[in-house]
Amino acid sequence: MQLLLVWFHSHFWKVEKVSYRVFSENYSPLKELVATPRRDDITEEKWMAIFQNL
């Protein structure tokens, strides 16, 4: 889990420097992800794959 938090920090640190205009105003993968209830049977590897595909 700590690895995930480290990845989150490093990923969003980079994203902050990117123009937000590249993202659609109507679609937010993060909002969709937050709205999806977390399932305990999803492994950390699967979560990493999900986050990397955002």
Distance CA 10, CA 24 (A): 22
- Cα 43 to the center of its chain, rounded Å: 15
Q: Tell me which residue range forms the domain holding 29.
A: 2-52
Q: Based on the structure, what is the number of domains in the chain?
A: 1
**Continuous H helices in 1-54:** 2-15, 29-35, 44-52
Verdict on whether the full-model pTM lies above 0.75:
no
Show contacts of 28-36: CB within 8 Å, 24+ apart.
29/54, 30/54
Q: What is the pLDDT of residue 19?
A: 47
Helix or strand or coil: residue 36?
A: coil
Distance CA 17, CA 43 (A): 30
Give the model confidence (pLDDT) of 14-48 as tens digits: 555 544 445 555 556 666 666 666 556 667 788 78
